[in-house]
A = this chain, B = another copy of it.
Amino acid sequence: MEKLRRKPERGRSERADLYDILDATNVGVLATVKDGEPWTVPLLYGRVDDMLVLHGSTGAGALRHVAQGAKASFCVHLMDGVVVADNLFNSSANYRSVVVRGTLTELPKDTAYDALAVMSDGIIPGRSKEVVTATPKEMAATLAIGLAIEDDNWIAKVRTGGPGEPSEDATAWTGVVPAYTVYGEPEPSEFVPAGTAVPASVRALVERGRTLGV
């Protein structure tokens, strides 16, 4: 096996690198300020070109708050591996992360469903074409908010490679334990008649194997 070389953590300045990270997962943490205090919630998201799209019910009070022009910070992270050094101080993790800052805006009602479809296809590619269309009542209750990715409102960071040089005992094992997220066998709900085929999009998701974060 080829041995891992040390590659220190570094920021990425190319938009393609930013998009690669954003497209590799689908949950992030939205932070905003309410009454002067920080406030966080994990949310599913999708990317439509240079726009991050978050989705929620119109009943969600905090989401309405950020939809109405509050400053927000959205943070995405992927854990790619545990970096094992010969001491704790130099042990670390390989990861990819993105922070996008800005002001969120509610997307027009007539584009909210399209945003939901993009988000859904980011999770299960092709799924939006297999499903029944939402009812007018459901579409009215759909809140989609957008966060524009501009030239200077994001930070992308990546750490890859092994640990630094051992501090004392050069004979100790050091290296990396890679981490992956995988999907298991689809489990049918209580409403599925016996013998109903798993949709093509869901089968493809599972067959792709090591999917999330890769």
Verify B177–A206 contact, CB threshold 8 A: yes
Q: In the complex, A166 Cα to B171 Cα: how many Å?
A: 60
Q: Count the A residues whose beta carbon is within 8 Å of the partner chain — how many?
A: 95
Verify B116–A187 contact, CB threshold 8 A: no
Most buried by B among A113, A124, A173: A173
Q: Mark A165-192, 1 if CB is under 8 A from B, else 0.
A: 1111111111111111111111111111
CB contact between A189 and one of B163, B171, B181 (< 8 Å): that residue = B163
123-157 of chain A: CB within 8 A of chain B: 123-124, 127-128, 131-135, 138-139, 141-142
> Min CB distance, A176 to chain B, in Å?
5
CB contact between A191 and one of B27, B127, B166 (< 8 Å): that residue = B166
Q: Given A124-B82, A131-B88, A193-B171, verify A179-B177 contact (CB < 8 Å).
A: no
Instruction: Decide if A93 is an interface residue (CB 8 Å cutoff).
Output: yes
> Min CB distance, A173 to chain B, in Å?
5
CB contact between A84 and one of B37, B42, B199 (< 8 Å): that residue = B199
Q: In the complex, A41 Cα to B193 Cα: how many Å?
A: 46
Q: In the complex, A113 Cα to B142 Cα: how many Å?
A: 48
Contacts of A24 in B (CB 8 A): none
Verify A3–B182 contact, CB threshold 8 A: no
Q: Given A40-B99, A128-B88, A199-B173, verify A79-B181 contact (CB < 8 Å).
A: yes
Q: In the complex, A109 Cα to B39 Cα: how many Å?
A: 29
Instruction: Decide if A91 is an interface residue (CB 8 Å cutoff).
Output: yes
Instruction: Decide if A117 is an interface residue (CB 8 Å cutoff).
Output: yes
Verify A132–B168 contact, CB threshold 8 A: yes
- Chain A interfacial positions (CB closer than 8 Å to B): 1, 3-6, 26-27, 29, 31-33, 36-42, 44, 71-75, 77, 79, 82, 84-89, 91, 93, 95, 97, 99, 101, 113, 116-117, 120, 123-124, 127-128, 131-135, 138-139, 141-142, 162-163, 165-193, 196-199, 202, 205-206, 212
